[in-house]
Structure formats: C-alpha cells, structure tokens
Amino acid sequence: MPGLGASFGRGGATTYLQDLSNADCILIQGSNMAEAHPVGFQWVVEAQRRGATVIHVDPRFTRTSALADLHVPIRAGTDIAFLGGLINHVLSNDLDFREYVAAYTNAANVISPHFQDTEDLDGLFSGFDPDTGHYDPVSWHYEPPENPTEDEKARMKEMEEDESEGSKDKQSHQAAHSEAHGSGGAPVSWKGLRDETLQHPNCVYQILKRHYRRYTPEMVERVCGITPQQFLQVAEALTSNSGRERTSAICYAVGWTHHSVGAQMIRTAAILQSLLGNIGRPGGGIMALRGHASIQGSTDIPTLFNILPGYIPMPHADQHQSLDEWVGDDEGKAGFWGNIRPYAVSLLKSYWGDAATPENDFCFDYLPRLTGDHSSYTTVKAMIEGRCKGYFLVGENPAVGSANGKMQRLGLANLDWLVVRDMQMIESATFWQDGPEIETGELATDDIGTEIFFLPAASHIEKAGSFTQTQRMLQWRDQALRPPADCRSELWFYVELGNRIRAKLAGSDDERDRPLLDLAWDYPYDDSAEPDSEQVLREINGTGPGDKALSAYTELKADGSTACGCWIYCGVYADEVNQARRRTPHWEQDQVAAEWGWVWPANRRILYNRASADPEGKPWSERKRYLWWDPDEGKWTGPDVPDFVPDREPGHVPESGAKGPDAIGGSDPFVMQTDGKAWLFAPLGVADGPLPTHYEPPESPVSNALYAQQKNPGRRILEQAANPINPTGSEVFPFVFTSYRLTEHHTAGGMSRTLPYLSELQPEPFCEVSPRLARERGLEHGGWATVVTARSAIEVRVLVSDRIRSLRLGDRWVEQVGLPYHWGGNGLTTGDSQNDLVNIQMDPNVYIQDKVGTCDIRPGRRPRGPALTSYVEEYRRRAGIAAQEAPDTEATSEEEN
C-alpha cells in the first residue's frame, strides 16, 4: 500500500476497526463496507449510534448507502477529482487544522525551484520521460537546509550530479521500490529548508493550494457527476467534524486500489486527513479494508516479487551488488527505517543460518536480483510468450479472479507444468477441459501441453497458523482436525518440496545450488504429521544471541548474532509465548484490547499516536485524549503502546548529524519517515507524481476536463494481442462498467460457489443498470443481457434498479453498468466471468489494473462457440481497434495520451 506508505511511513491501516466507533464523521468511499466487510461495519453503526455522520460516496446505492446518513453517487474512477475538490475546499477556506499541519506535516518544506506542477505542464509534472513513461523525481526534492552538515553537503553534490546527468538507473528502480515503503518511508536526503509561516511560494502548502485550485465544486460536478450541493454537504460534514475536539475517519477498499491511479487515490485521502489533523488520533485515521483473511500478512511477509519480509526491498541488479549497496539507500537516515542493516542481516541469518557470515556479506549474493517489473501480469505475458514455464497456483484462481481472463488462460495453456493447490476443482485447473477458449475453438485440449498436478489443500481448521487481518493484527488458529486423505497444508507442501529438492541436489558442486543447499531448512513435524507452525512463527519472530526468542526489533544486531524472519513481526513470540494466540475476552479489557492477538508494530493499535498530543505533549483536547507526555515519569503514556521513542521529550531537538532513531525530533510523530512528517507532497517514493492528479481511467467515455493529459502518463501498458483497449469517447463502447463483491460470495468463488448455502443465496451472475439505460437498450428486468468490451463478451441476468444512477456530466448523461465478479464455469452456481471483460493497464507503483472500463450492453444471450470470437472482432472493427501484433517488449508507456 504505497499510498499510505509514502504518506506516513507504513503501508497499513493507521487505525483499528473498533476505533471507528470514536469517530464523529466517517467517509466510506471505494468500499461497500456493509456488504464486503459486514462484521467490521458494526463499528460504523456504533459510531452512528453515538451521533456520528456516515457518508457513502459510491457509483451504486448499496447496503452501505442504505445505512449511511448521506449517499453521494459518483462516476466510477473519478475519486481523485472529488477528494481533490475537498482539499481545495479546505485550503481555500482556511479550514485545515493549522497547528497540526504546521507541526506534523511537510507543509512548511520548500521544494526545489526546478519543480513544475501539472498546472504548468497541462497534466504532467517536471521530470517525465515520454520514451520510458517514467518520472525522474530529482526536481521534486526538498530544498537543502540552511546550514547543511558534511553528510548533507555530500548528498547535495550527488543530487547535482543526478540532475545534470539524469539518473535512469534510479528511476527504473523507483517504481519497483515504491511498495517497499510498507514499513519505512522513502529516504529523503535531509529534513530540508522549512518556512513555518507557510508563505514561501514554493513551500508545500502553497504548491498544494495552486495544484488543487481548479478542483472547484463546479469542476467536481463536471467530472464526477456530483452536484455542488451534495459536494458541500460532504465538505461541511468532514470539516465541521475535524479539528481539536472532533475527528473523522475514512474507510476504503479495492474501489480505490483497483485503478491505474490507485495509489494516488489513497494518497489524496492521506493528504485530506493530514490537513484535517485526523491521523494518529482516536476516531480518525484511514482504515484500509482488505479483502482476504491474510492479505495484509502476505504483504508483510510477502509473496510479492519486489519485497522481502518486513518490506525490505529485493535487491536490484543495477544498484545492489553487495550488502552495503543494498542497505545503503536507507541506512543512517533519520527514523527507525534508518536501522535497516540489522533488519536485513537478521533476515539473511534466518534464511542461511550458519552459512551467513560477516566475511561473505551474510550470503547477500544468494539473493536473486530484480531488473524491473516481474509482477503477475507481466509474468502472464511471459508465459504466453514462452519465457516462463513452471507455475504454482496456491489458493488463487486467476482464470476467474485476475483481469483479462483470456490472457490468464492463454498463459496457463503454454506452460510445461502447473501445480494447483486448492480445496476445489477451480477454473484455473480445468481450463484445458472446459474453459471459454475450448468452447470458442481458440484452444484445443489435445494441443495443450501443460502437465497439471492438482494437490488438495487443508482447510483453515485443519492446520494451525496465523492470519494478519486488516488492522495489522495477527490472530492464531489452532488445529481442530487432521486434513483428510491427500489434503495437506501449504506448510507441509513447501517443507516437503524443499526437502526433496535439497536431497536431489545433495553433493552438487554447482555454485547455483549453494543457496538451496546452505538454506536453514530443518522443520520438524508435529503429532499430526504436519510441520510445527509455531516453530516457524518463532523463526519469524527472531532469536539470539544464543537461541532466545527476541522481544522487539530494537534488539536486532547487524553483526550476525541475531536472526529474524520478519523484523516488523519481532515480538510476536516474545518471552517464548505465541502472542498471536492470546484470547482475553473483550469484556475483560478496555477498547484497545491489547491482550487479544498481537498487532505489528510492537502491538500498537493506532499508528503515529504521538500526533494525538500537541507539540508540547498535551492532548489536543480532553475529548480526543489518547497519548500524552508524563513529565513526572519522563515518558509517553496512554491506553495504547506509544508509537514513538518511549522517553523522548516533546521539545527534543536531535543533535546535528544524529542518525536513525536518534534523529527523531520530540515533535516528529511519523517515526518511519526520514523527516518525521506526514507527506502532503511526496518528494520521493511515488512513481507517478508527488501530488495526486485527476486522470481519466484507461477506458473512459469522456475527455479529461482538467488537463490535456487524458490518462495517467506513468501507467504501465501491457501490449498483448489479447489485451486491446477501447478508445476514449468511443460510441461503440459508450457505457462505464465497474465490478464489485457480494456478501454471499468470495473473490473468484472457489470458496463460495462450491458451498450449497452461499450458492443458494446468490445463485447467478447479474448486472445492475438504471431504468434509463434499460429503456435506451431495451433491457428487461430478469432477462438476459450481453456485455461487450474489446476483450470479450459475457452474458448475465439484468437487474433494473434505481440503485444505480444515471449521472449528469455537463451537457451529457453517463450510464454505468455494475457487475459482480465472482462467477466462472465450475461449482454449484456457474456463469460467465466478469474479469474476461477487464483490460490490463497498471498503476506504476503497484502494478494493479483498473477495474473500471467502457462497454456496450445489449439484450439477449451472447453468441456461442466460434460465433463469440467473431462477434467481439466485429465490435473491435467498428471501434477502430486494429488487430494487434504482439511485440516482444516489456510494459512501456503508450504514445496516446
């Protein structure tokens, strides 16, 4: 979550669900929380009972809207224009929480005179290279401090060289790096020159004002279809419920993340919340609502290409060929991320144990290096092109759940071997038998050479282990039953696979096998013939010196005397106790409930909670009291664990040249940021610009009303024959579609379409259309409709409803089609997959595509067999989309803006 990471220093929800009940106003946008996170939604209802105003901004009137005080319909994909409008409202009316903003954000920082805004360049920032589609962020930097230290002088010289010579290598790494701000902000060179009066024309505050000046209520209406009256209602609710005495919270989900500007949508919310003084305070914050049981966990301990456990970046071949180079970008910078060396060395020790020594850089060279984007969609393209031949699918069903299902299946059909681990026969395992391309004749079973191993998985009650849920909390599950027959946990599978590979390679003197043979890989089995997962949790927690479990990441050493599998999880096994297994009932605790499960970092519930007190350490108000400085005890105190150096005085000014945690000032609450501040302006760390800017989605019915630049200039394009894009303003594809979840189903359906109860509750895929669109296209409620894009056509049942509004944009109407995405060909309830319609153009920070696109919709069922292919081909011809060759280039920027 680089949107949050780049703004505050950690890529996780800043608060916890129960704390929503302390909010005076809650804005839910990019989320249908009541439907997708129903049990978490009880805390929103709780807040409402206590008098809070609940606002839902969403294209559809949903279960969430039904319980909200205000529902504001919005055109899908235009959230930055709306939130930017709110920022403009706050700034032009002086409604920001000025003392908070001045003290805790980078509003006062002066930015380089070379910086040019999108207002100057009609939708581009300075530093854009149209050939690569990358930004060089060098002109976005903080102006150096007035009296630079020797260190800072050296960095100034480096920066001047970068500016004159360009820094292509750094740029290419920049994008892959942005996710590495999950727990440690981007490393700025200095805290920089500040103008505390906020009057300097190039200070962040003034730049922000100019950047959003044209995001007026009238512009919001033109872009989003929201009337000025509705806009002002939201603006007034938020601003009157923020400040010293009151706080507002924002909740979002994949309605923000699934866009080619997803990270920037979240950044916009981060800026708004920082201006309103709502971060680090009870009832405030940004609640990221994540969609899988351990999606936070699988980012913290990543199965992601660009990071290692604890958001330590994977080394990049251009810059990191030694341990020193690898940690050098961040080491010594102010804040806790400046201590990256002990975190990284301890990880290498937990990977390679005794083989990792100071003499061999702790086996740094065993780490494979990145050279660019190796993300999922890029890898699928490599599969289609024969450059990737072996694939493990582990509890994921990309043939239904990933964008552009056809590309997914073409990739699967071109492998040497595929391992599918699941509980049910999912579509990604049966594409060769009955996939949509078999039906159309694009693929034939006999021609598909993919060898497939389907290995049945253990269910959540048949194995012990921990999930990390949406508020960064690890909760342990005990094992209730042994898995049946051949079913096994993933823990068993990977331990066993590792054991067998290592046994087969034993005795090899090939240098490339050393990392496998030297791997610390000794995992004993417990009574149920499964590996002991608590031992793995203990390895993650970290041990040493000797074999003692560590209590906190501050104990980690860079000399190899400690090992730690994930530094941010250090403490989860403190005192040799599985802290994630704690189950003290809530009625025996206060609301913070510190004795239930374990939350990273260091069991803190509200992040950056130093900001709940004023610069002098006193609560901003009695009503919003949370953490405060106790001068008698000389420490921070309150119901939560302080997210701060526990005994650092409020007025503390670090010595010149101080490094790491020592360099954190007494009033710098954002301890993972190298300058201790919340970033209104991101001088580094966001690939597509320092400030969020409205661009139209890759497929849009309208032109960008704000700039000549139509789409996110930094977005990544995936050129592939199966991934054509509908042209802007196409009359052939005149409508907007957006996809979403239903309470009764789960993601790609493997865990819900196979269950009788859930299949009965939601038995069929459907689309939601407005009565106006139904009239225009002759769609009948309960009848069939065919929805078409340049990728494919699917058939669904029609639901005609006022829940989905026709939007007025200036002189024209825009119609939206809502499509739940859970279906596929297998299971108890079946239907066409909505993801077959979706295109792939990606956010350059996280390589996630837009879930919004344009489409046509017609009454009746779709053509069958080969007729479907020609039906879609005819649409492409009419829309003027040329049949694409498949060039063998990596993702590049598109010429068309």
Partner 1 sequence: MALTSRIGDWSLLRQLRGRDSLGRGEAARSERSRTLRPRTVGADRVVDSICPYCAVGCAQKVYVKDERVVQIEGSPASPISRGRLCPKGSASKQLVTSPTRVTRVRYRRPHGSEWEDLDLDTAMDMIADRVIRTRREFWEWESEGRRTRRTLGIASLGGATLDNEENYLMKKLYTAMGAISIENQARI
Among residue numbers 159 through 218, which ones bind partner 1 (CB under 8 A)? none
Binding track, positions 456-485, relative to partner 1; x by CB under 8 A: x--xxxxx-xxxxxxx-xxxxxxxxxx-xx
CA distance 366 to 152: 33
Furthest C-alpha separation in the chain? 80
User: In whole angstroms, how close is the CB of 571 to partner 1 at the nearest point?
Assistant: 14
Q: Give the range of 101-109, 150-158, 224-232, 286-294 binding partner 1 by CB under 8 A.
A: 286-294
Residue 410 touches partner 1, criterion: CB under 8 A: no
User: 447 Cβ partners below 8 Å, 6+ apart?
Assistant: none
For partner 1, which is the closer residue by CB, 206 or 402? 402
Q: Give the range of 20-28, 83-91, 750-758, 864-872 binding partner 1 by CB under 8 A.
A: 750-758
Q: Give the range of 209-217, 239-247, 390-398, 732-740 binding partner 1 by CB under 8 A.
A: 390-398
- Please state whether the peptide bond connecting residue 724 to the residue before it is cis, i.e. omega within 30 degrees of 0: no
Other CB atoms within 10 Å distance of the CB of residue 581: 18
User: 607 Cβ partners below 8 Å, 6+ apart?
Assistant: 8, 10, 12, 14, 15, 280, 285, 643
Q: Which of 416, 802, 873, 896 binds partner 1 (CB under 8 A)?
A: 416
Q: How many residues bind partner 1 (CB under 8 A)?
A: 166
Q: Give the range of 107-115, 297-305, 331-339, 696-704 binding partner 1 by CB under 8 A.
A: 297-305
Residue 388 touches partner 1, criterion: CB under 8 A: yes
Percentages helix, strand, coil for the chain (3-state, rounded to 5) are 35, 15, 50
**Using CB atoms within 10 A of its CB, is residue 432 exposed (0-12), middle (13-18) or buried (19+)?**
buried
User: 81 Cβ partners below 8 Å, 6+ apart?
Assistant: 215, 219, 220, 223, 224, 694, 706
- Which pairing describes strands 635-637 and 628-630: parallel, antiparallel, or unpaired? antiparallel
Angle 855-407-11 from CA coordinates, rounded to 5°: 85
Residue 809 touches partner 1, criterion: CB under 8 A: no
Q: Which of 544, 661, 11 is nearest to 310 (CA)?
A: 11
Note the helical H segments in 366-508.
376-384, 398-401, 405-412, 427-434, 436-440, 490-505
Question: For residues 485-514, which are near partner 1 according to CB under 8 A?
Answer: 485-491, 494-498, 500-501, 504-505, 512
Q: Give the range of 332-340, 552-560, 640-648, 754-762 binding partner 1 by CB under 8 A.
A: 754-762
Residue 381 touches partner 1, criterion: CB under 8 A: no
Binding track, positions 2-21, relative to partner 1; x by CB under 8 A: --------------xxx---
Q: Give the range of 89-97, 275-283, 285-293, 716-724 binding partner 1 by CB under 8 A.
A: 285-293
Residue 452 touches partner 1, criterion: CB under 8 A: yes
Q: Which of 417, 529, 631, 877 binds partner 1 (CB under 8 A)?
A: 417
Q: Which of 26, 72, 87, 448 binds partner 1 (CB under 8 A)?
A: 448
For partner 1, which is the closer residue by CB, 416 or 647? 416
- The residue type at 373: D
Cβ density class 88-124: b for 16+ within 10 Å, e for less: bbbbeeebbbeebbbbbbbbbbbbbeebebbbeeebb
Question: For residues 812-871, which are near partner 1 according to CB under 8 A?
Answer: 827-828, 846-849
CA distance 382 to 407: 11
For partner 1, which is the closer residue by CB, 163 or 442? 442
Q: Which of 305, 784, 813, 871 binds partner 1 (CB under 8 A)?
A: 305
Question: For residues 539-558, which are near partner 1 according to CB under 8 A?
Answer: 539-540
- The DSSP 8-state label assigned to residue 681 in this structure reads S
Q: Which of 73, 137, 401, 642 binds partner 1 (CB under 8 A)?
A: 401
Residue 398 touches partner 1, criterion: CB under 8 A: yes
- The residue type at 584: T
CA distance 86 to 222: 15
Binding track, positions 572-601, relative to partner 1; x by CB under 8 A: ---------x-xxxxx-x-x-x--x-----
User: In whole angstroms, how close is the CB of 109 to partner 1 at the nearest point?
Assistant: 31
- Cα–chain center distance at 570: 23
Binding track, positions 38-67, relative to partner 1; x by CB under 8 A: xxx-x-------------------------
User: In whole angstroms, how close is the CB of 699 to partner 1 at the nearest point?
Assistant: 18
Question: For residues 337-356, which are near partner 1 according to CB under 8 A?
Answer: 351
